[in-house]
Amino acid sequence: MTGGLGIDLVRIERIRRVLEAHPTRFRSRVFTARECQDAAERGAGEVASLAARFAAKEAAMKALGTGRGAGIGWKDVEVQRTPSGAPILVLHGAAADRASMLELSHWRVSLTHDHETAGAVVVADLERSQS
């Protein structure tokens, strides 16, 4: 049974502008080293990749019922890739604690982008069925 659902859209140009104005600060505050490395490997698609990951973090926070808040930091939500390249969501710290408290597990994430917009949908299941 679905226990958490979040969706977010972000304009890629917005992320590009922030990266141009504060390249190191924005990356280090919002993304893990692994996320930065994965995005950099996308070459010309780096900004779109970071924008999609940003959207995934926002969507995950919505699925947790907090939005940005409740002590959950940007790096508490991480987008990794499976060996086949599919995105997966990994929760750390306060995000993992909140998910456990809400009995949310089996997180799924879908990322997308075109030339202007990046988006993400995040779904989490309840660990046990509620009657």
- In DSSP terms, 112 is beta-bridged to 119
Whole-model pTM: value is 0.93
Contact 53, 59 (CB under 8 A): no
**Both structure tokens of 36:** 């930065």
**Residue 82 pLDDT greater than 60, yes or no:** yes
Q: How much is the pLDDT for 129?
A: 58
**Distance of alpha carbon 119 from alpha carbon 52, whole angstroms:** 6
User: Which one-letter amino acid corresponds to residue 40?
Assistant: A
Question: Higher model confidence: residue 42 or residue 17?
Answer: 17
Domains of the chain in sequence order: 2-126 (3.90.470.20)
User: Which residue, chain included where needed, has tokens 């990994």?
Assistant: 90
User: Which one-letter amino acid corresponds to residue 73?
Assistant: G
